[in-house]
Chains A and B, each alone.
Chain A
Amino acid sequence: MTTTVLVAHGSLALAEALSAVVASEPGLEAVATATDPAGALTDVGRIRPDAVLADLGEGDWVVAVIALTKAYPQIRVVGLAPAEAAATDRLLAAGVHLVDAASAGMGAVLAALHAGGGRRADEPGGSARAASGTQPTRSSALAPTDLQLLRLVAAGLDSESAARELGTDAGLVRRRLRRICTELRVESPIQAVAVALREGVLDLGSGP
């Protein structure tokens, strides 16, 4: 029984160092490292480790870690305190195992990772490595007018304002947004924006 661990830390050097500590521990296997909150979320989704050892030094990570516990309740999440007092409550409520490493030591961190149990080494996903996988682009089907509309959505315009901007009717705008969401297989327009941004077909920096 080996517990696979993904180590998430904002600094690559420290993520690797923590990985090395985890790897040196019998019964634990460091399968991947992630250095940004968004990357951690995608990597966990792809690799499905048994446990995640996460940095909680900054607010961005706190929210990512909470999102992670919601998305993958079966994964054991061990967080390195210190976190701000307000964040601590939320993290505990989300089921994160907080370890105050400064006082309890690294041994306590490793023990918390062990406590989750593990899966057999022959199960799939056990030794996958983090790699920047290329996803099939869904947004290539979008027309320029669709992208123009998504840009307005990203700017915060509702369908009425977007319709006024495009010189059309709010009902038509809503219909087009529903079609875009269906094509991109997402639930909301802002999620469509996220997909278009990620796949590089939408750019927020430039002018209209």
Chain B
Amino acid sequence: MHAALSLRLFGPVTLTDAQGRPHRLRGKCARILGVLGMRAGSAVHKDELADAVWDGAPPTSYRQTLDSDVCVLRRRAGLGTGRVSVLATVRGGYELDPGRLEVDAVTRRDLVERVVDATSATALDVGHPLVRTSGDILFENEPFWDWGRVVREGWESALSDALLHISRSALVCGEPSLALTAAAASLGLAPDSESATVHLMRAQWWSGRHNDALRTYVTLQDRLVRELGEIPQRETQDLYLALLRDHDRLPSADAAEDHVRLLLTLLRRTLDQTRTPQDGAGGPDTGTEAEPARASM
């Protein structure tokens, strides 16, 4: 019966009770479950809990407030009471039981840990759900919560690394399109990461999207020069040169249409200029005879 009990911390914080009814939570209750959920399986002292929930500035009556909020949460979702509750009272604080309540953040954190040290085939197997859900935002409805923001940033950095590993694994296993998705997701979470950018280049390269890869490099180089006054690392430059030399994959050069048009104009003008002395018809801007000829080109 307890199998249905679950806590979602990604997106709006939602507690689903044993009957499968979702309770969407905001503010204090969402934050309490957020802190306990991230640390499911271990006791959190009320002082510590209050510090996290109120970002270091709890009200004087925080103990009573926490007690009554927990009481409300237990009743709404039918979590039981006291020491045997899924949200149990323990020495000086509270503890969530991950054995009876599935917490999405805990599940995903386990996946990240399993991915990081795995071989390619395993990383790919285990990592699929991480790629699929990489756009979900931890504590999405609590944007002004400092504790939540710090936890979110830590999570996103760990997820970005894991996605990189998944993407490399996908290349090794011959799944370049998944590699591309994972690399883009990794870079999305860590836009300033050179290693994520470089890996996106690799994934584009393997997918045969040569021009995209070169463009990714140019964008990276521009950003590094502009923001940091640096050039890409040696390894990045080597990869770029390897890409440039990978002849067979270079698509036939198709210059931008505007550019071609400009050059055609230039060539016409040059031909006009070189023709002018023999024709003796004056410059291209004054010669009325040249006008119809140029207009027809």
Contact = CB atoms under 8 A, between A and B. Distances in A.
Interface of A: 9-12, 14, 17-18, 21, 24, 35-39, 41-42, 55, 57-60, 62-64, 67, 80, 82, 86-87, 90, 101-102, 105-107, 151-152, 154-157, 161, 164-165, 188, 190-191, 193-194, 197-198, 200, 204-208
Contacts of B202: 154-156
A39 B247 contact: yes
Contacts of B265: 102
Contacts of A24: 274
A154 B206 contact: yes
Nearest to A161: B168
A9 B168 contact: no
Contact of B225 (A35, A55, A90, A207): A90
B246 A57 contact: no
Interface stretch (B32-40, B77-85, B212-220): B212-220
Contact of B173 (A102, A193, A207): A207
A80 B259 CA distance: 10
B22 to A, nearest CB: 40
B168 A155 contact: yes
Contacts of A191: 238, 241-242
Q: Which of A42, A67, A86 has the most CB of B within 10 A?
A: A86
B260 A62 contact: no
Interface in B9-27: none
Given A90-B222, A102-B262, 10 more contacts: A9-B263, A10-B259, A11-B253, A14-B255, A21-B270, A55-B259, A58-B259, A64-B244, A197-B245, A208-B174
A62 B218 contact: yes
B266 interface: yes
Majority secondary structure of chain A interface residues (helix, strand, loop or mixed) = helix
Nearest to A62: B218
B253 A165 contact: no
24 contacts: A10-B255, A37-B244, A38-B246, A58-B255, A58-B256, A58-B259, A59-B218, A63-B221, A86-B222, A101-B262, A102-B265, A105-B269, A106-B269, A154-B206, A155-B171, A155-B206, A156-B168, A190-B238, A193-B242, A194-B245, A198-B245, A204-B171, A205-B206, A205-B208
Closest A-B pairs by Cβ, 7 of them: A207-B174, A194-B242, A57-B259, A10-B253, A155-B171, A106-B270, A10-B255
A205 to B, nearest CB: 7
Interface residues of B, number: 57
Given A63-B217, A194-B246, A151 B172 contact: yes
B270 A63 contact: no
A118 B242 CA distance: 32
Contacts of B262: 82, 101-102
Contacts of A58: 255-256, 259
A190 B172 contact: no
Contact of B260 (A11, A63, A86): A11
A99 B205 CA distance: 32
A80 B245 CA distance: 23
A60 B218 contact: yes
A156 B168 CA distance: 6
Contact of A206 (B174, B211, B217): B174
B245 to A, nearest CB: 5
Interface string B217-256: 1110110011000000011001111101111101001111
Contacts of B260: 11, 14
B232 to A, nearest CB: 10
Contacts of A164: 117, 119
Contacts of B211: 60
Nearest to A13: B260
Contacts of A155: 168, 171-172, 202, 206
